[in-house]
Amino acid sequence: MQHREMQRVLAENRHVIDDNTLLQRELTAAKDEIHRLGQVIPKLRAEKEANIRVLIERGLKLEADLHASEPLRAEVIQLRTEIQKLNSLRLELFSQVQGLTKDINQLQAENQQLVGMRADVDGMHKELVEARRAYEYEKKANEEQVEQKQAMEKNLISMAREIEMLRAEQLNVERRTRGLGFLSFSHFHTRIHADKHIHF
């Protein structure tokens, strides 16, 4: 029993020694890590401070840029206002263009109608020219007919005068020669017919 107890104690001692050895190694590694971190931390701190300085400088620069951009901000606001005005003007011009396009389409339709009307007017003009020609022809023909009628009237008047003269002559002849009245009357009619053929 003592031997077993000694064996157990020895085993526990060995276990403790092993744990101690392991703890020594871990302690050494921890010291090495602490030493390494002790060397790294200043570098990290220096880098952090450098980054902080960079960030501060950037912040100061941004603040300066912000102060410098105040006039630009006012100009941007003015430009936005002008852009809104231009958009309103663009919409107005677009509406006017639509109206003008509608007017142009209407004018083109009216122009097509005018083309048709112009063709009708040209046709009417040609008809008018033909009518004038026909009128001038009829007028000339009527003038010729009037001249012929006037000439016929003159001939009739001249014949009537000759008839009156012949009647007077016949009366004189009848007074002189009552017995030859019938012969003279026949001769008178023959002469009248001859005169009609001559004048007509």
Q: pLDDT tens digits for 37-61?
A: 777 777 878 888 888 888 888 888 8
180 phi/psi in degrees, rounded to 5: -100, 20
Q: Which tokens hold the place of 118? A: 């112009």
Cα–Cα distances in angstroms (integers) from residue 27 to residues 23, 34, 38, 41, 184, in the given order: 6, 10, 16, 20, 193
Is the pLDDT at 71 greater than 80? The verdict is: no
At 190, is the pLDDT very low, low, confident or very high (cuts 50, 70, 90)? low
Provide the pLDDT for residue 200: 38
Is the pLDDT at 182 greater than 70? The verdict is: no
d(Cα 110, Cα 116) in Å, to the nearest integer?
10
- The residue that leads in pLDDT, 160 or 184, is 160
CA proximity to 163, closest of 196, 117, 136? 196
Is the pLDDT at 105 greater than 80? The verdict is: yes
Q: Are 191 and 198 in contact (CB under 8 A)?
A: no
Is the pLDDT at 95 greater than 80? The verdict is: yes
Provide the pLDDT for residue 149: 82
- The residue that leads in pLDDT, 89 or 192, is 89
On average, the pLDDT of the chain sits at: 78
* Residue reference for tokens 């004189």: 172
Lowest mean pLDDT among 33-42, 92-101, 182-191: 182-191
Average pLDDT over residues 2-9: 80
Question: Residue 68's Cα: distance from chain center in Å?
Answer: 49
- The residue that leads in pLDDT, 57 or 118, is 57
Question: What percentage of the chain has pLDDT greater than the value 70?
Answer: 88
At 184, is the pLDDT very low, low, confident or very high (cuts 50, 70, 90)? very low
